[in-house]
Amino acid sequence: MTGNYQRPQVLARTHLPPALKHSADADPTFAVTVRGNVDLLTGRLVGFFCSESSPGDAILSTYDLALALRESSATFIGGFQSAMEKEFLTFVLRGSASVIVCPARGIGRMRLPAAWRAPLERGRMLLLSCFDDKVRRPTRQTVAKRNAMVAELAACLLVPHAEPGGKVEQLCQDALAQNKQVFTPTSAGCRLAELGATRLRIKGGRSDVELG
């Protein structure tokens, strides 16, 4: 099923990913709005998170990851809201990897950045939201709901940095408890490897782990 790249549309319940069907069954008002190539939802999704407060080595790791993975077959999914998440998205969109962006707000009235238009038209990008158009700004509650949805849809997580005791770390702990893999480079103060995450390294401009 191809998407309509020009305008948002409500995703039919029969086309909801299995990870979201239980939400639809539990809440008759639950709806997912999309814009772009919905076929991206059928592939293996890599959830990308990075805490807003990131040390220098995590910033460098994020750039290295983006450069190494932007030509991969992976489809990255996330809110891409924190500073380093936005930087990762910018670099990945310059490559050939696919991206699903999940804003913590409705997308019907959302103004698209110019850099998103070509990837949308080429089928490399999807916007996905579980909020109606009355939600025009992210809030703490919508961010939490969005992040939970991303983690649920993702087959694994890629996290350059998670602040100890923070919400991203808790998301990773929940994913690990569900036997989902969490990949992380070395980062000052980050405890993910100690919690069970898999160390990811960049060698010769390439990741030592196949994510796609």
Q: Domain residues of the chain, as ranges?
A: 42-100+136-207
- Average pLDDT value for residue range 96-122: 94
- Average pLDDT value for residue range 27-49: 92
pLDDT tens digit sequence for 45-66: 999 999 998 888 888 889 989 9
CATH T-level assignment (fold) for domain 42-100+136-207: Rossmann fold (3.40.50)
Q: Which residue type, as a one-letter code, is found at position 16? A: L
Q: What token pair was written down for 114?
A: 């110019």
153-181 b/e with 16+ CB inside 10 Å = b?
bbbbbbbbbbbeeebbbebbbebbeeebb
pTM confidence score: 0.92
In 3D, which of 45, 109, 117, 107 has the Cα closest to residue 76? 45
| Residue 75 and residue 89 in contact, taking contact as beta carbons nearer than 8 Å | no
